[in-house]
Structure 1
Amino acid sequence: MQEDFLHYIWKYKKIQIDQLKTTTGEGVVINTIGQHNLNSGPDFFNAQLTIDEQLWAGNVEIHVKSSDWFLHHHEQDKAYDNVILHVVWEHDTDIFRKNHTAIPTLELKDFVSKDVLNNYEELFNKEDKWINCERDFANSDDFVLYNWLERLYLERLERKSKTIEQLLKESKNDWEAVLFKMLAKNFGLKVNGDSFFSLAKSIDFSVLRKSQSNQQTIEALLFGQSGLLDQHIEDSYHLGLVKEYKFLKQKFKLKNSHVLPCHFFRLRPSNFPTIRLSQLASLYYEHQNLFSKILETNHLSNFYKLFKVSTSKFWETHYTFQKESKSSKKSLTKPFIDLLLINTVLPLKFCYEKQKGEADNSDIVKVATSITSEKNSIIDAFNNLKKVSNSALSSQGLIQLKTEYCNKNKCLQCAVGNTLIVK
């Protein structure tokens, strides 16, 4: 038996509420359960109860056993002087306040139905399972599940907001600068994400702003800071970038000693750092005030148009500086743009609207629902239980569900877990 389950029982009144009695036989009527306290102090604040026809207002403390009161030294803590009811699974001793007055005790085990208890024990049994409810997940109610996934998606955006807020603090509230850092990280994908992020952080965004009128200048800035111009190569394009970067480095006192090296190993040529940096340079060459344009865009098709950029001419016949390849136009694909929207654009829009005090996230939800579902091991595993991920909103929600609820056994705080306990 866990205290979390007892909190759940009390909070959602999953008990025979019309038959409650204290261990000394006094009738208990729950007028209000109180406010669930997740910090130190009693578990529920400001409850209102009628005990033996006397109205009481105060706090409720919950334990597995009555003796846990003394185990936790509550009898020595003034914060527990206003506890009006001690709710326990098993009553094994009487408990008292600091002034030695007895606190009424409600023993729950006689007031919880066997079905609820059996469902709880089945959900949390120790079998080797990917998630606790994998046997019943396929039978979860579609309406409950999809509403829960939308809430989880917004919860995930809230979590990502913390990273954005830290970047905003570092950049003195320059949203365009934060966008550049986050886009750079996501252009690098998993292999070069940290490298590209360190590259973006090594450049004051004002330098990029002053370089946006010339595509080759932006490329020189990005390639130079990344260390990709360090080799001596006899090529006019490469030599031009080196010359331009030397000028920029001196003019803006650029340093790149803390920029992590880029990697080519085990990457498809289309994901080589050279290609991705050229595409990033093109994006900022073609769009001044990119963040402002993102704020004005609320439809997926328009996002595709905004991010439909290609490399510069040289990279149409190259993947590296050294070797020429078959000519091909290397534009950002829709799946790649989807990743940028999921991991950068929509979290930024969410955080911006949150800081403005706007609670309407309908446009963000609409775009996330229009984007194709991600594919990874978590999504595949959920889809094997029940075909549930049909958009980026649901796939992001499922990632949040697995990492923040399933992995942490927070079934009692999950909408699906709740329905299974009272099925």
Structure 2
Amino acid sequence: QVISERLKRYDTNWEDTFFITLARNFGFGLNGDAFESWANLLSFRSIDKHRDSLKQVEAIFFGQAGLLDEELPDEYYQHLQKEYHYLQHKFELRQADVSLWRFSRLRPNNFPHIRIAQLALLYHQKRALFSRIMEAETAKDAKAVLSIGTSEYWKGHYIFNKTSPSRTKSLGDATLDLILINTVIPFLYAYGLHKVDERLCERASVFLETLKAENNHIIRLWTGAGLPVYTAADSQALLQLQKEYCDKKKCLFCRFGFEFMRKP
């Protein structure tokens, strides 16, 4: 349903809708709304004209995030700022409010700067991203498409104008699992329904069954109650159960709840 609503908003453009949903899930909860608001302000057709230049893609991505408004003594930052001012005027871009972004309780690898840098490199390197994902035969293939790092500058920074020990900042396997669960698999299924292609719907199910179960407080409650959870298919089923029955206090309509309440 969420995908359908987004598709209507973007004139049934699957590529744009996929990237916006992907961006939201790069926020991993805390910054999810901020990333979606930011992605909604990206003018993809305008960016596509400069897609071959990673620095220009970064300039638009960081500028639209409101992260290029300060005056900093950082050469790379100043270059992006100059590029963005030119492109902002050229395409009449309206940027997000920098106050959207949250940093508290975040590990540095999850800072908005790093996630935006990863999305910029992904957008620069992987044209027709949605089509590539739909062609991925296995979860491993889909992960290979989405495996990405950052430009050289971000190997030595977590934010602008503050150096850190140099290290590659790529998406980890657990992070890629979450992206597949929350973005790739729902789109595989939705596109399969749209195209009346049972193979895509079946592939979505297979992906869920091959990925590890999520590890969050809701799933830990279920495992603590003695229910085995092995795959993402198991954890997704329990999250849906929690949303539709537990949270709505429909215990009598739930097989688990009914059996529990029957106990003396």
TM-score by length of 2: 0.92
Contact 2:66 2:97 in 1 (8 A): no
Runs of 5+ in structure 1 lacking a partner? 1-161
The corresponding residue for 2:216 is: 376
What residue identity is the alignment partner of 2:153?
F
C-alpha deviation, 1:408, in angstroms: 2.9
**Which structure has the larger Rg?**
1
C-alpha deviation, 1:208, in angstroms: 2.9
The correspondence of residues 158-169 of structure 1 with structure 2, limited to 5 A, is: 162-169=1-8
User: Aligned partners of 2:247, 2:103: CA distance in 1, in Å?
Assistant: 34
The corresponding residue for 1:202 is: 41
The corresponding residue for 1:284 is: 123
Which of 53, 75, 83 lines up with 1:244 in the alignment? 83
Superimposed CA distance per residue, residues 128-175 of structure 1 (whole angstroms, 9 cap, x where no aligned partner): xxxxxxxxxxxxxxxxxxxxxxxxxxxxxxxxxx11111111110100
Helix, strand or coil: the match of 1:196? helix
User: Aligned partners of 1:259, 1:211: CA distance in 2, in Å?
Assistant: 24
The corresponding residue for 1:393 is: 233
Runs of 5+ in structure 2 lacking a partner? none
Superimposed CA distance per residue, residues 300-358 of structure 1 (whole angstroms, 9 cap, x where no aligned partner): 21122111110100011111112111110111111111111111111111111112223
The corresponding residue for 1:108 is: none
State the identity %.
Answer: 39
Which of 300, 304, 316 lines up with 2:139 in the alignment? 300
Go from structure 1 to structure 2 and tell me whether the alpha carbon gap of 1:408 and 1:382 turns closer, same or farther (over 3 Å shift): same
Helix, strand or coil: the match of 1:189? coil
User: If each structure's helix is expressed as a fraction of its own residues, which one has the higher value?
Assistant: 2
The corresponding residue for 1:314 is: 153
Q: Give yes or no for the alignment of 1:254 onto 2:93.
A: yes
The corresponding residue for 2:25 is: 186
Number of equivalenced pairs: 262
What residue identity is the alignment partner of 1:282?
L
User: Aligned partners of 1:422, 1:266: CA distance in 2, in Å?
Assistant: 42
CA RMSD of aligned residues (A): 2.1
User: Aligned partners of 2:99, 2:64: CA distance in 1, in Å?
Assistant: 10
User: Aligned partners of 1:177, 1:259: CA distance in 2, in Å?
Assistant: 23
What residue identity is the alignment partner of 1:236?
E
Which of 390, 397, 404 lines up with 2:244 in the alignment? 404
Q: Give yes or no for the alignment of 1:355 onto 2:199.
A: no
TM-score by length of 1: 0.59
Superimposed CA distance per residue, residues 52-101 of structure 1 (whole angstroms, 9 cap, x where no aligned partner): xxxxxxxxxxxxxxxxxxxxxxxxxxxxxxxxxxxxxxxxxxxxxxxxxx
